[in-house]
Amino acid sequence: MTALVFIYLGGVLILIGTAGILRFNDVYSRLQASGVSDNVGLTLLLVGLILRGGWEGGDWAILLLTALLLATNPVATHSIAKSAFVQEHAEKKER
């Protein structure tokens, strides 16, 4: 029951992030919507998948996947944001 709550909450957060990516009108707003809701939603989904079958046989692969997602996704989002910011200001300086 708890696992289903986690999984469905993750699915709802992922749908909210999709609506944000589609509807916002700026790169940074879209990065905010994608970076926050993807991270929380997918982490909730994977934790729910671990809780669903119990810890039998060891779900080390899903745990490793969760840790890898939590380590890489903020770095990728920050990298895209820094790239957009630096390039926008470089274009302004050239004019």
Partner 1 sequence: MIGPVEIAILVSIGAILIRLGLGPTAWDRLLAYNSAANRIVGVLAIAAVTSQESVFLDIAIVYLSLSFLGVVVLARFLERGGSFR
**Contact set with partner 1 (CB under 8 A):** 4, 7-8, 10-11, 14-15, 17-18, 21-22, 27, 30-31, 34, 38, 42, 45-46, 49, 52-53, 61-62, 64-65, 68-69, 72-73, 75-77, 79-80, 82-84, 86-87, 90
Radius of gyration of the chain (CA): 17
- The least distance separating partner 1 from the CB of residue 8, rounded to whole angstroms, comes to 6
Contact between 3 and 51 (Cβ < 8 Å): yes
State how far the Cα of 37 lies from the Cα of 62, in Å rounded to an integer.
19
- The least distance separating partner 1 from the CB of residue 95, rounded to whole angstroms, comes to 15
44's CB contacts (< 8 A; 6+ apart) are 6, 7, 9, 10, 13
41, exposed or middle or buried, with CB in 10 Å at 0-12, 13-18, 19+?
buried
Nearer to partner 1, 53 or 55 (CB): 53
- The least distance separating partner 1 from the CB of residue 18, rounded to whole angstroms, comes to 4
- The least distance separating partner 1 from the CB of residue 5, rounded to whole angstroms, comes to 12
